[in-house]
Structure 1
């Protein structure tokens, strides 16, 4: 199945703005500038003199200004994600970003002055003002950045250079990736076809090895043709990060990500250690088992996600996928399903792949006053159903948390993956329960194990790769060969000796956009997967009242940290047993596959 049928829905962004040239958008830009100037005139240099209620009023006004910025930037970003090749859209998106950057420069003082408030005075203001206490969780997170903030003039320079600095390199990377095409020969017919990157990557899931190999070689060839640019982008962004981290006195390249994720470094270290220690019992064991099933001594790298039998993953229509996911959600919580239904009733999802469209999938929260949008590249496979369940989980989470307001609805990445991975697990369990055919059950279970390995093992390997790249870059610019060597080393460790990393695989690092967009983001996937596995085990053991507590967790958004949110379930991410429990779920699925092999 190809998911390019015209019947597949696309999103309608008019809930944000009617169009790039609309009067509403122009008015919001003008209002943003006026409000920012008025806010600076009213509050700059005066925060220390305000009462608790007055400071709360200032925060509320600042939140309103930021929400308008968010609406403008969300519209520009989503419009661009829909067509990265349209030069007019690209110019529009860049123009909006530059205008917001210019407007918001006068607001830099606000977080700096908040952080310079004396601890005693700040705590007293929180205690005396209920309105300020409402913003307490957000204010406390802002104040954690105090050791890393610079003088106002330096912050202004960094702010101004955002639009010509790292973000420009990210734009270059995205637009380059979007323009790539892959000419893949068809071994059966002797003809060739030209595919987008999403379509070429999807070919790695083909049942015929010759087609997978042809796709893998085409990917390698095109990536290698562009590797000089991708190497330059990677080097530049790593150095840019090192410079800013040094000025801000972050102790390690990943430290700023931990702070943004509101997670302690030792908790992440415990997760990474637990996963890496489990490589032999998880990925190594599974790929040895899969190689045996496929009658091979080793899997080639293009076999990693291969199905076992021709035609075993039959096409699933979009309408079928909707029913599968919503029924699974509804069996757990009717409220969860009702919120999810809105995304299908309204034009909030962009479904079909097409040239120029952003690759992968995401859920964009936009702002609380509007609603999230989902982007998919639906190809009709089981994993695409799981991707829908995943992104819909994000969307439902964002809708439920919206009542917290802009500042408190924003969930750190580690907890943001909770609803998405939980939605996947609900969907998988429902599909597994409905499958009685042994071969189909094995296929479904194998697909889930592969997805979980990609979410846990692969993402921790990515995180390790980033750590090594940033450490190596600190000693000088890296060549493509340097980066490829690190990539192969990390991939070999995580995948084990049952997978052969063939010539050409050394350049596959270049299409992992998380390395470019959000350095060290990737561990959040493993965090979320292991967290959900522990949560789901709790649900299966004690289902009574679980759904209500879970919905409260989602509705809390970013108003609480992971310790407070997990406490009602008796879970603690600081406990090493927490991670072992999460990994045990994955191990149990592999156990079942071994028993039925």
Structure 2
């Protein structure tokens, strides 16, 4: 049967010709010229004499450069993800990093000039019609700059980071990209990518899951010493930067990046830790249903029936669009466009990087989604999740590009909300008790992931960085730290853990966003509050939701929650209410599986 929607994305509408695109080469040259213009303008400006016209001229160039940098980075990200052997695309990574470093140096100089503007003149600037709409962003940059090194030293750091920081992430990607795993299927041995084997951790057959887990662990153990180097040196550069700036808390940068307070983060984790016990009961029940005494790591995402339904890509598309339309016709139309215009790379083939992502093109005003679709419930959830990211950016497209820099925690709010819509609908529309149990369990898996797996990642990273301050951390010690964090987060409920998870999880090796973990849990619980609002009043929800998304790039998360949800994120009440919604799923699951 002919498929309605393609599972291979179309990048030619962005830049025709892939990594050989002359149009893309010209676009990069255009950015280079603009960066030179910006460098001259900022270099010539004098803080004490800076007037409104000069400031607006610089800000206009900053807008264009920001937009083009993201366009270039997103396109290169797509090229390297769809084909890990694309050597030309890998060369572009270095070039893109050099552009980013140049932009960062210029902006460091500009930010320092903002700090030198006298307070009374600065406050006057912020009230002018051209600057007022981006006042929050400029004020934020000015404040953060005061906590950094002098401009010359920050510029030097930006230069050194290209080969001394980002390069370690590139090294990690290169090593993972070369990993292939032999897999026997119907007496035929195939070479699969990491992403393809990871999909088999969802298989209903425990022997298949165990084989996938063992093969992945063996592959990452084989390269573990190299990953130890990448992680230690990446973290070392980051910690040296912090030390020179006088930052003692490793959470300072991620909290600042996510525009949230230490108290909010602590309150969230504390609420989760105090309300986990029912999820332990769920894990014990799942073990019983799978016929084992205790779950292993590779059982966490396993379906509890061997007859789990396969969902075609077309079916997933139709389900997602239909469920989105229940809450937001605009969101449904966005998803429909993404499927019809081939914005999604979902083909199950080797040669792709593992994982999934959504990336936006602010100049072209398009989105691309990357994943490996194998037809299970988790894949459907991932697809909805990434479309939620895409819709968030789609709504932001109308805003000033400088107000579009929303942090990861609120980005994960939009994606998790989209995922929740589809998961809840699937449970409601289940055709029989067994199907309902299976779908409900798949939904609970996500709660376990956010409350336990993500918590383990957070604990590991925090403990690793504290040890890294004292020196190089060995492979064996990294394994111990990872397993200890998993045992704490999962309450010692598992028989076998995954000590090499630190090596196989890309997020630990990303340089752009430190602590690429707690924002997921924040987004999950924050989206619970949004979902509760959606169920209360579907008629006005779309307007409310879009207005909330508009503000995600121009205020702290505490102010965002107060303005749109009338809640205090530093009070445990909000978090406990979200956790209680998740508990209801567990209670229903336990009741349905009592027999």
Q: Shorter-chain TM-score: what band?
A: over 0.9
Q: Per-residue displacement from partner, 1:238-262 (whole Å, max 9, x unpaired)?
A: 1111101111222311210111111
Select 2:292's aligned residue among 290, 296, 299: 296
Alignment check: 8 A CA contact 1:253 1:470 kept: yes
- 1:221 maps to which of 211, 218, 223: 218
More displaced stretch, 468-477 vs 40-49? 40-49
Tell me what 1:72 maps to: 72
- Does the aligned pair in 1 maintain the 2:71–2:363 contact within 8 Å? no
TM-score (norm: length of structure 1): 0.93
Task: Give the distance between the partners of 1:114 and 1:575, measured in 2 at CA.
Answer: 35
Residue 377 of structure 2 corresponds to residue 372 of structure 1: no
Q: Give the deviation of 1:529 after TM superposition.
A: 0.5
Q: Report deviation, 1:465.
A: 0.9
Q: Deviations over 1:144-169 (max 9, x none)?
A: 31233222221221111222121111
Residues 398-439 of structure 1 show CA distances to partners (whole Å, capped at 9, x for unaligned) of 011111122101211111111111111111121122114001
- Show the counterpart of 1:528: 523
Q: Find the counterpart in structure 2 of residue 306 from structure 1.
A: 302
Q: Using the alignment, how far apart are the partners of 1:395 and 1:121 within structure 2?
A: 39
Specify the alignment match of 2:275 in structure 1: 278
- What aligned pairs does 1:310-349 form with structure 2 within 5 A after superposition? 310-311=306-307, 313-349=308-344
**Is the 1:326–1:337 Cα contact (8 Å) retained in structure 2?**
yes
Q: CA deviation at 1:99?
A: 4.8
- Equivalences for 1:391-406 in 2 at 5 Å? 391-406=386-401
Which residue of structure 2 aligns with residue 357 of structure 1?
Answer: 352
Show the counterpart of 1:132.
Answer: 131
2:507 maps to what in 1? 514
1:204 aligned to which of 182, 201, 204: 201
Match of 1:309, SS state, is coil
CA distance, structure 2, for counterparts of residue 301 and residue 557 of structure 1? 35
Count of matched residue positions in the alignment of Structure 1 and Structure 2: 586
Unaligned runs of 5+ in 2: none
Cα distance in 2, alignment partners of residues 350 and 110 from structure 1: 39
Counterpart residue number, 2:91: 91
Structure-2 residue corresponding to 1:11: 9
Whole-angstrom CA distance in 2 between matches of 1:396 and 1:162: 32
Aligned 8 A contact 2:104 2:155 in 1: no
1:473, CA displacement in angstroms?
1.2
Q: Which residue of 2 aligns with 1:439?
A: 434
Deviations 1:82-119 (A, max 9, x none): 21222222123323433554576455411221233233
Alignment map for 1:453-472 (pairs within 5 Å): 453-472=448-467
Q: CA deviation at 1:7?
A: 7.2
1:570 aligns with 2:563: no
Aligned counterpart in structure 2 of residue 414 of structure 1, from 403, 409, 413: 409
CA distance in 2, matches of 1:17, 1:307: 41
1:268 paired residue number: 265
Q: Secondary structure at the match of 2:163?
A: coil
Q: Compute the TM-score of the two structures, normalised by the length of structure 2.
A: 0.93
**Does 522-531 or 145-154 show the bigger shift?**
145-154
Per the alignment, do residues 74 and 184 of structure 1 end up closer, same or farther by CA in structure 2, a change over 3 Å counting? closer
**How far 1:444 sits from its partner (Å)?**
0.2
In structure 2, relative to structure 1, the CA distance for the partners of 1:140 and 1:281 (3 Å cut) is farther
Aligned partners of 2:465, 2:493: CA distance in 1, in Å? 29
**C-alpha RMSD of the superposition:** 2.2
Q: Which runs of 5+ in 1 are unaligned?
A: none
**Given the superposition, is the C-alpha separation of residues 583 and 59 from structure 1 closer, same or farther in structure 2, using an over 3 Å criterion?**
same
Q: Secondary structure at the match of 1:526?
A: helix
- The separation in 2 between residues aligned to 1:440 and 1:526, in whole angstroms, is 27
Find the counterpart in structure 1 of residue 535 from structure 2: 540
**Paired residues of 2:569 and 2:575 also in contact (CA < 8 A):** yes
CA deviation map 1:533-579 (0-9, x unaligned)? 12212332344523320122123341333234332332332221111
Cα gap change, 1:473/1:563 in structure 2, threshold over 3 Å: closer, same or farther? closer
Aligned position for 2:182:
183
Q: 1:13 to 1:422 in 2, by over 3 A?
A: same
* 2:173 paired residue number: 174
